[in-house]
Amino acid sequence: MLKKIKLICFGTILLLGACTPLEEVKTKTTVSTVEKNLVNGSPWITTAVYKEVNGKMDTSKNYIDTEIANGTISSAQYKNNKFIFVFLKDYTTGEFNLPEISENIKNINKDDKASGFVYGDLKIVELNGEVVRELHNPSFNTNIVIKRVISEVNKNIFTYKFEKDGSTYYVEHRPYKDVFSNKKYPTELQEAVDKFLWSK
């Protein structure tokens, strides 16, 4: 009987040993997987800004309410090699300045300055072995290209890195529908975005 129990335990250990590595394997980040997931997860919303400590992302402190996060908090959408970042009235509740922001998007002309949102062209490229999100021709300054290294992306989360004051930070985003499961992304806002950006 004792021998039988030992055999069962040994078999269980072998089985767990075979499964554990598979559970730890993450989908390889490639240009195509990033492009696909950025589109499928849209609209995203910024949920956290973490600092890198000892070479790893430290999630014990969220810097989203500090100056570090200035310019990073928005609801982002990606499609057809374009992007749009819509600023929120309150990121904790997922509220927007409606109907003003929808009207701004609907009525903007090519040469107008965007108010309450930023848009431009999107490129996902591989540089030095890392996948990078490049924002080209951003509406607030069409002469620059903003590059951010992608650290993680799948259908549930999107995180990129940036440097500030000699430190590395990670900006985390999650799908709006997952963060605010009790509410729907504003229909009028989505219609304005669709008409303005994706139809062009």
Domain boundaries, position 56: 26-198
pLDDT at position 107 is 86
Which of 135, 155, 167, 153 lies closest to 63 in space, CA to CA? 167
Domain count for the chain: 1
CB 34 within 8 A of CB 153: yes
The CATH number of residue 136's host domain is: 2.40.128.540
User: Is 128 within a domain?
Assistant: yes
Cis peptide before 21 (omega within 30 of 0): no
Which of 79, 81, 80, 87 lies closest to 104 in space, CA to CA? 87
pLDDT at position 95 is 96
CB 34 within 8 A of CB 11: no
Q: What HEC string does 121-184 produce?
A: EEEEEEECCEEEEEEECCCCCCCCEEEEEEEEECCCCEEEEEEECCEEEEEEEEEHHHHCCCCC
Cis peptide before 186 (omega within 30 of 0): no
Q: What is the pLDDT of residues 96-126, one digit of tens each?
A: 999 999 999 988 876 677 889 999 999 999 9
User: Is 152 within a domain?
Assistant: yes
User: Is 21 within a domain?
Assistant: no
User: Is 19 within a domain?
Assistant: no
User: Is 3 within a domain?
Assistant: no
pTM, whole model, 2 decimals? 0.82
Q: What is the pLDDT of residues 42-88, one digit of tens each?
A: 999 999 999 999 999 999 999 999 999 988 899 999 999 999 999 99
> What b-and-e string marks burial along 85-111, b requiring 16 or more CB atoms within 10 Å of the CB?
bbbbeebeebebbeeebbebbeebeee
pLDDT at position 199 is 67
User: Is 160 within a domain?
Assistant: yes
CB 93 within 8 A of CB 105: no
